[in-house]
Amino acid sequence: MKKLVMSLAVAGAIFAAPTVTDAMSMGDRGGDVRELQQTLADEGYNNASNVDGVFGPLTLAAVQRYQLSNGISSPAGNFYGVAGPATQSSLGLADGSSASSSSSTSSTSNTQVAGTSSSSDASAMISTARSLIGSPYVWGGMSPSGFDCSGFINYVFNQHGESLPRTVAQMWSAGTPVSNPQPGDIVFFETRTGPSHSGIYLGNNEFIHSGASTGVTISNLSSNPYWSSAYIGARSF
């Protein structure tokens, strides 16, 4: 399944932190990200100009280079590009005992495969989403008269009694990472820096979303090169 096993990128580092921070991924921001970037720069894996506290493609590439060079992960690994406990510990950002215990917890949470909703709930949600195909794109829109991408997802989930964060970045941070999305999960894309577009996964590499030029429509992750290259991961709720 093209791109759907793409590892999530993470950032989180400290000049001398006593404990392990949570694993961070593409789109994360803040002091932990800045410290990770600086530590990678000190080690020669990141450009000093890329110390801005935003985990984007340059930070992802730096983490991947460090993991490859130090035998932590590879392109075949589930956590390639994820600055989890093993990467943080190797960088000297946490002690080994904390990293070991956190690694077990992180591994459990990050390898979850299925979403939290039952298949019947997902089916009903997808039916609602499909009924909205053709609704126009409207910036900030949250009703059938017009949706932006996160407004569309919020509307569909709200129809089934579930409340989600309003923005794409907030949804990315709040959801549970899944390596292989299931129908009803949310797939995310980096169309600008960090997670900036999202849709509801339908299965068979398809997702439904409100596109700026299309309104609510169904697109394919594998056959559409734009979406396959922009895909950064999935979350369940």
Domain boundaries, the chain: 31-110, 119-236
Q: What are phi and psi of 189, to 5 degrees?
A: -135, 150
Residue 118 has a pLDDT of: 57
Q: Higher-confidence residue: 143 or 91? A: 143
Instruction: Give yes or no for residue 213 having a pLDDT over 70.
Output: yes
Tokens 């949470």 correspond to 109
| Architecture of the 119-236 domain | Alpha-Beta Complex (3.90)
Beta pairing, strands 146-147 & 197-203: unpaired
Q: Higher-confidence residue: 16 or 164? A: 164
Q: What is the pLDDT of residues 160-208, one digit of tens each?
A: 999 999 999 999 999 999 989 999 999 999 998 899 999 999 999 999 9
Q: What are phi and psi of 109, to 5 degrees?
A: -75, -35
Q: Which of 42-51, 70-79, 95-104 has the highest average model confidence (pLDDT)?
A: 42-51
Query: Catalytic residues, which ones?
Result: 149, 197, 209
CA angle 202, 208, 212 (to 5 degrees): 165
CA angle 45, 51, 52 (to 5 degrees): 145
Residue partners of 147: CB distance under 8 A and separation at least 6: 132, 135, 136, 137, 138, 141, 155, 210, 215, 216
Beta carbons of 45 and 65 less than 8 angstroms apart:
yes
Instruction: Give yes or no for residue 18 having a pLDDT over 50.
Output: no
CA 163, chain centre distance (Å): 19
Instruction: Give yes or no for residue 14 having a pLDDT over 50.
Output: no
Q: Higher-confidence residue: 60 or 210? A: 210
Q: For residue 67, what are its two tokens? A: 């993991």
Q: Is 56 exposed, middle or buried (0-12, 13-18, 19+ CB in 10 A)?
A: buried
Burial profile 159-180: b = 16 or more Cβ within 10 angstroms, e = fewer: eeeeebbebbbebbbebebbbe
